[in-house]
Amino acid sequence: MSLRKPGGAVLVTGAAGYIGSHTVLALLREGHAVIALDDYSNAQRDVPTRVARLCAGDVQWVEADVRDQATVEAVLASQGVEAVIHFAARKSVEESCRLPLAYYDSNLIGTLRLLAAMEVSGVRRLVFSSSATVYDASQPSPVTETGRLSCASPYGRSKLMAEQIISDVVNSGRLDCVALRYFNPVGADASGKLGEDAATPPSNLMPRICLAAAGKSDPLQIFGNDYDTPDGTGVRDYVHVADVADAHVAALRYLAAGHGSAMLNIGTGCGTSVLQLLRTFTEVTGVDVPYTIEARRQGDVASLFADVSEARRMLDWSARRGLAEMCADAWRWARPDGDRALG
């Protein structure tokens, strides 16, 4: 590990979640001091131990809900926090259609209270976890940051509304924010000791591939092979979670340099179909994934991938890990005889 960075700590909300935990690890490996906040409503309690095994950095875990403004204010005041990375949110498109109020409560009220706590405490640097779901997916890819916006779910709208609230605070001169719109984060830390482990069953493709490959679920259901794509299956922009984590470190650097605010796509810029991903997974792991072809999933679109030139230009960041590495790392974490045991 490098020496501790001069200056204050970074508060990470939703720190035990999938992208949050990999970002905490990336920050520690870069020598940042971290205050890691989570309420464990959709994360595993062994994440702090896993992170500690991988990097002996300066991290303090706090169990709290980000909507608990008094606690967040106390953390910000007592620890000399210089920047916040805000992940804490609900993230299932399907669940958000059933429980819209819960989504607006967690994702909007959570963001509002955090912003209020930051204002009270005089902390003015924020990295916000947003999503490509804010884009109108019917437009042609690659999608730039100025692409048409439109959300098909309460989850998506909660992210877009949060972006808009943040943007109003930025325009008031009280905040600098880099909002990162992730496309499809997948994979795990290369150690096999940290990966995606939500409390709720996964609905995304890569964790479902791993479950089917491990024989822990029915065959993978491929939702549609009649899209207007080269092989008929949906095309997305898969990006390694460690690259996504590195983008947050780069965003902090950008804010610390006083460059102001930005809204950036985080992906590889490459479109990959479901069948291509499956083929790569089998080539890399040697494991066949049983699958069936099913009807299209409601709300899915044919193709969505990013134009990533702005992130490269503004953050000097681009994804370094390819599809093979995404599959190998996802499987090292997920396979039944894998390396995840803490021992």
Residues that bind ligand UFG (CB under 6 A): 91, 93, 131-133, 156, 184, 203-205, 208, 220-223, 234, 236, 274, 297, 300
48 vs 234 by CB, closer to ligand UFG: 234
In the complex, the smallest distance separating the C-beta of residue 85 from ligand UFG, rounded to whole angstroms, is 18
**Cβ nearer to ligand UFG, comparing 294 with 316:** 294
Distance CA 152, CA 168 (A): 23
155 labelled catalytic: yes
As measured in angstroms, the least distance from the Cβ of 209 to ligand UFG is 8
Q: How far apart are CA 28 and CA 34, in angstroms?
A: 7
CB 334, min distance to ligand UFG, A: 14
Taking the complex as a whole, the smallest distance from the CB of residue 147 to ligand UFG amounts, in Å, to 12
CA pair distance 21, 9, nearest whole angstrom: 16
Pick between residue 230 and residue 260 the one whose CB is nearest to ligand UFG. 230
Nearer to ligand UFG, 30 or 300 (CB): 300
User: Which has the closest alpha carbon to 179: 132, 136, 112, 141?
Assistant: 132
User: Is residue 274 a contact partner of residue 234, using CB atoms and an 8 Å limit?
Assistant: yes
155, 182, 227, 238: the active-site residue: 155
> Given the complex with ligand UFG, which of 71 and 204 has the nearer CB atom?
204
- Residue nearest to ligand UFG according to CB distances in the complex: 234
Smallest gap from Cβ 78 to ligand UFG, in A, equals 34
What amino acid positions are annotated as catalytic residues?
155
